[in-house]
Structure 1
Amino acid sequence: MIPYVRREKIMDELENKQIMYIEDFLKIFDGVSESTIRRDLKMLEDENFIVLLRGGAVKLKLDSHEIPVGTKKLLYKEDKEKIGKFAASLVEDDDCIYIDSGTSCTAMFKYIKARGVRVVTSNTQILNEVNHVIESCIVVGGEVNKKIDSISGPLTDDTLKNMNFDKSFLGASGFGTVVGINTPDFREASKKSIAKTNSKKCYVLADSSKFNKSTLCKAFEIQECILVTNKEIPGLKGISEYIVAE
């Protein structure tokens, strides 16, 4: 098993169990040495993705700063795919839509089946996903943040201010009734706010692990959008509109 696949499996296991021990991984990866597992875990810790505890314990680390998109792909993969696929089903023929940066937003692109769709995006990953059902794809200008595969800044904001969308699909680092829809980056928050304002409908794609997670910048209140997530969130019932992706 190649190292990337092994680390991906480690994250799958931690996603389900939250805390595990090195001995647990030795049982899962038959024939893999303890030193190899420790190297994998150290690499994931260096990427700020897990925490190594005393006694050989390991847990996920979901902190307040932006995680690199390459690492994000390992988190809650099935949930993000489910959310992305459902979000794509909301796109109708001839819609003009905005697709934000973020792994859940990227996941939706390949599932779009509606015809004649015009896409505006600040997500550099989407360039690899354009297919025949997309009538046109506009990538907005601005400063590229390679860490999160996103374009943002004053030029991006100025471009989006002059556009109108049938629907926007936004990512978020955290969401909640008090913390709103949030992100660690002022530029990302500004971009999301503009896209939301200029859209007839605004959907935020976020898995349930981000509920009540607070980062530096609130883009807007959660009541101003429709949340698409992966399971019921009792704390939002009667307060905010949300959809559980099936």
Structure 2
Amino acid sequence: MFLILKSERKQIIVDRLSQDNFVTLDALVDMLGTSESTVRRDLDELENEKKLKRVHGGAERAHSLQEELSNLQKSIKNVQEKAAIAQKAGSLIEEADVIFIDAGTTTELLLQYLQQKELTVVTNSIHHASKLVENDVKTLVIGGFVKNVTDASIGRFAIEQIHQLNFDKAFIGMNGVDESYFTTPDIEEAAVKKAIMDNADQVFVLADASKLDQTSFVKVDRLEKGGLITNRSNSPLVEQIKKKTKVIEV
């Protein structure tokens, strides 16, 4: 049996992730023809070298601080987890609430749970607004420059409008949640998210577990400024976050 050296195994793993972004542990065991324990050690070393991120069942490619997936790319990732998070968020909304729903794929799933009477929804997503109007929900759209990747209205004009309003609750997507901050790759979008959080009585960040222990380029706000709704995971970071803010696991 041909033995693959450790350095070769690790390079094969990195090459696979550069192509597919994610690979399962089982697939690596089959591909490398070695034991699960050996593959786990290789993955641990590569994570320490910041060449990948360990996730449940395998590993994913390490992301740069400014990397941002399109809405289409995001929409096919962790769909079941996002749906459960959105459903839980929907249960927190009460009749006659004025809420802000941020642009994003997880927040989009929240739209189907808006059955409350006399609800007013403010959003910075044209896509969200269209769906809300179709569902006969009272809707206010924030204007500004539309960012193609995320469908979010951004810029000074958007921020000025948000500062004129108050919200009972805000539901916001986020790219990264680390031990201290909510983060996102884009400076202008971060400023919009910060304005939303500043003008809401209650803030809920909707982020599936793949966003935990991830850090993006721009700090939006400290963890204390918003509760976190996420799916259950083995991440030790969750316990640290619970010391700073409310965490709802679904």
TM-score range, shorter chain: 0.7 to 0.9
Instruction: Specify the alignment match of 1:143 in structure 2.
Output: 145
* 1:195, distance to aligned residue in structure 2 (A): 0.8
Counterparts of 1:20 and 1:71 in 2: how far apart (Å)? Answer: 22
The 2-side partners of 1:155 and 1:108 are apart by 26
* TM-score (norm. length: structure 2): 0.73
Q: Give deviations 1:65-109, integer Å, cap 9, x for gaps.
A: 111110001111111111111111111111100010111111101
SS at match of 1:20: helix
1:188 aligns with 2:217: no
The aligned amino acid for 1:81 is A
1:220 corresponds in structure 2 to 221
Cα pair 2:99 2:170 within 8 Å, conserved: yes
CA contact (8 A) 2:133 2:139 kept: no
2:96 matches 1:94 = yes
Q: Deviation digits for residues 103-144 of structure 1, max 9, x if unmatched?
A: 111110111121111011012321342267654111111011
How far apart, CA to CA, are the structure 2 residues paired with 1:71 and 1:105? 15
Q: Distance in 2 between matches of 1:224 and 1:115?
A: 28
Work out which of the residue numbers 2, 8, 27 in structure 2 matches 1:20.
27
Structure 2 equivalent of residue 235 of structure 1: 240
Give RMSD over aligned pairs. Answer: 2.4
Q: For this pair of structures, how many residues does the alignment match? A: 199
Q: What SS does the corresponding residue of 2:191 show, helix, strand or coil? A: helix
2:94 maps to a residue whose letter is E
Counterpart of 2:148 in structure 1: which amino acid?
K
- Which residue is 1:163 aligned to? 165
SS of equivalent to 1:203: strand
Equivalent-residue separation in structure 1 for 2:176 and 2:212 (angstroms): 6
Deviation for aligned residue 1:149:
1.4
Structure 2: runs of 5+ lacking an equivalent: 1-19, 32-51, 53-57
Aligned pairs for 1:80-119 (under 5 A) are 80-119=82-121
3-state secondary structure, aligned to 2:27: strand
What is the letter of the counterpart of residue 60 of structure 2?
L
Paired with 1:85 and 1:146, the residues of 2 have a C-alpha distance of 27
Runs of 4+ in 1 over 3 A off after TM superposition: 18-21, 131-135
CA contact (8 A) 2:96 2:118 kept: yes
Q: Structure 1 18/109 Cα, relative in aligned 2: closer, same or farther at 3 Å? A: farther
| Percent of residue pairs identical | 25
Structure 2 residue aligned with 1:175: 177
